[in-house]
């Protein structure tokens, strides 16, 4: 049973992520019949740390406090993807996992776990802006850029900022059941579980790819996403054979015509859900999916959420939604 929790900090820690960890595990809710944790804030760099927001935090606990922790949380800091980490901290994290404790990272705190070797062979995540460099720096890790958090048993990683709430509540739900997790969520005025992953939060304008031979066709495809189109038709427009066109398209965009077209249609449907009051059926037609069922299928598969849920998140209530 989870009883002892420590948040370990480095210079430049982000206060919000530390605040989430402290809110979930550091408050005494015994009057409500909730579990109480032995919670401590630990410094990996001396008794006083400067936060990313410009103020300082002072704590009496050093790395020795991690030896008793059942759960060690690593909140993010501004330069975590590029900095070096104290060997003593990395050793302490490895020892914790070896003795059966769990570690949880928030956002770029995943880079600390990676430096300790704890992501090797494990599925993991971080903020979508940094998933590429995480995969590059730790090629043995299986980086999932789309999810809010990943639970690999002893190692839990969460995506950017508010995903810390999702991951921490997940731990509480596992340890104490949904009633306790739901109670804490209500006190925090947040949903106990969010649908979808961080893919729905990524800012992705329609990509502009440097293309030597298929650029004109790409521009035409963008302007006519509502039309049916085949590789044969696109190849004819490019004055190529279908086989040559497909090969050139893959070389110059990094994907197939079908996948490229599908992604652009999802992007357009996101834009229309955010900026118009059109029904899901209408948006399906305008974005080339044909009907609401097809749009919902591809939207869920790509973003991990439904069109209506996405609209509620990014637009709020609208007048007419199918």
Kindly state whether residues 168 and 240 are assigned to the same domain: no
Kindly state whether residues 221 and 173 are assigned to the same domain: no
Residue 244 domain flag? yes
CA dihedral of 219, 225, 228, 230, whole degrees rounded to 10: 40
Residue 321 domain flag? no
Kindly state whether residues 248 and 304 are assigned to the same domain: yes
* pLDDT value for 197: 67
Kindly state whether residues 106 and 41 are assigned to the same domain: yes
Residue 210 domain flag? no
Question: Distances from the Cα of 185 to the Cαs of 150, 191, 281, in angstroms?
Answer: 19, 6, 34
Q: How far apart are CA 301 and CA 152, in angstroms?
A: 22
Beta carbons of 5 and 24 less than 8 angstroms apart:
no
Kindly state whether residues 172 and 228 are assigned to the same domain: no
CATH number, domain at 11? 3.40.50.880
Residue 320 domain flag? no
* pLDDT value for 141: 95
Residue with tokens 């630990």: 42
Residue with tokens 């993991």: 124
Helix axes of 257-275 and 307-314: crossing angle, nearest 10 degrees = 50
* pLDDT value for 321: 43
Where in the sequence is the domain holding 108, given as residue range(s)? 4-201
Kindly state whether residues 145 and 238 are assigned to the same domain: no
Question: Distances from the Cα of 290 to the Cαs of 31, 259, 280, in angstroms?
Answer: 55, 17, 11
Residue with tokens 């869920």: 300
Backbone angles phi, psi at 61, to 5 degrees: -100, 130
Beta carbons of 237 and 260 less than 8 angstroms apart:
no
Domain stop point among 175, 201, 227: 201
Residue 208 domain flag? no
3-state secondary structure (DSSP) of residue 252: helix
Question: Distances from the Cα of 173 to the Cαs of 157, 291, 321, in angstroms?
Answer: 16, 38, 33
Q: Considering its fold, how many domains does the chain have in total?
A: 2
Kindly state whether residues 137 and 241 are assigned to the same domain: no
Residue 207 domain flag? no
CATH number, domain at 272? 1.10.10.60
Residue 189 domain flag? yes
Kindly state whether residues 160 and 262 are assigned to the same domain: no
142-143 and 56-58 as β-strands: parallel, antiparallel, unpaired?
Answer: unpaired
Kindly state whether residues 16 and 115 are assigned to the same domain: yes
Kindly state whether residues 96 and 175 are assigned to the same domain: yes
Domain stop point among 150, 168, 201: 201
- 322 residues of the chain, pLDDT tens digit each: 899 999 999 999 999 999 999 999 999 999 999 999 999 999 998 899 999 999 999 999 999 999 999 999 999 987 888 889 999 999 999 999 999 999 999 999 999 999 999 999 999 999 988 999 999 999 999 999 888 899 999 999 999 888 999 999 999 988 998 889 889 998 998 877 776 667 666 665 544 455 567 888 888 998 899 999 999 999 999 999 999 999 888 877 778 899 889 988 988 898 898 888 999 999 999 999 999 999 999 998 888 889 998 888 777 554 444 4
Kindly state whether residues 220 and 190 are assigned to the same domain: no
Residue with tokens 């598969």: 301
Domain stop point among 146, 176, 201: 201
Rg for the chain, CA atoms, rounded: 23
Kindly state whether residues 194 and 234 are assigned to the same domain: no
* pLDDT value for 56: 94
* pLDDT value for 322: 43
Residue 17 domain flag? yes
């Amino acid at each position: 049973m989870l009883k002892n929790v420590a948040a370990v900090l480095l210079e430049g820690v982000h206060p919000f992520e530390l605040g989430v960890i402290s809110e979930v595990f550091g408050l005494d809710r015994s009057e409500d019949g909730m579990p109480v944790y032995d919670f401590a804030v630990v410094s990996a760099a001396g008794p006083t740390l400067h936060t990313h927001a410009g103020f300082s935090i002072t704590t009496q606990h050093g790395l020795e406090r991690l030896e008793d922790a059942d759960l060690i949380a690593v909140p993010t800091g501004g330069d975590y993807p590029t900095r070096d980490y104290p060997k003593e901290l990395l050793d302490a994290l490895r020892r914790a996992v070896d003795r059966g404790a769990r570690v949880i990272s928030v956002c770029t705190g995943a880079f600390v776990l990676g430096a300790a070797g704890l992501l090797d062979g494990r599925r993991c995540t971080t903020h979508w802006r940094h998933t590429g460099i995480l995969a590059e720096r730790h090629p043995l890790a299986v980086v999932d850029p789309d999810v809010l958090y990943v639970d690999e048993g002893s190692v839990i990683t969460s995506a950017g900022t508010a995903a810390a709430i999702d991951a921490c509540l997940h731990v509480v739900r596992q340890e104490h059941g949904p009633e306790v997790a739901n109670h804490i969520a209500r006190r925090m005025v947040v949903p106990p579980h969010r649908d979808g992953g961080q893919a729905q939060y990524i800012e992705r304008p329609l990509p502009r790819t440097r293309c030597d031979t298929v650029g004109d066709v790409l521009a035409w495809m963008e302007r006519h996403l509502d039309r049916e189109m085949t590789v044969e038709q696109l190849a004819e427009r490019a004055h190529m054979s279908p086989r040559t066109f497909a090969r050139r398209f893959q070389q110059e965009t990094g994907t197939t015509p079908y996948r490229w077209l599908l992604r652009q249609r999802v992007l357009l449907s996101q834009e229309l859900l955010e900026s118009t009051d059109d029904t899901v059926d209408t948006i399906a037609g305008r974005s080339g999916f044909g009907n609401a069922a097809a749009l919902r299928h591809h939207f869920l598969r790509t973003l991990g959420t439904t069109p209506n849920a996405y609209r509620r998140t990014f637009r709020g209530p609208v007048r007419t939604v199918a």
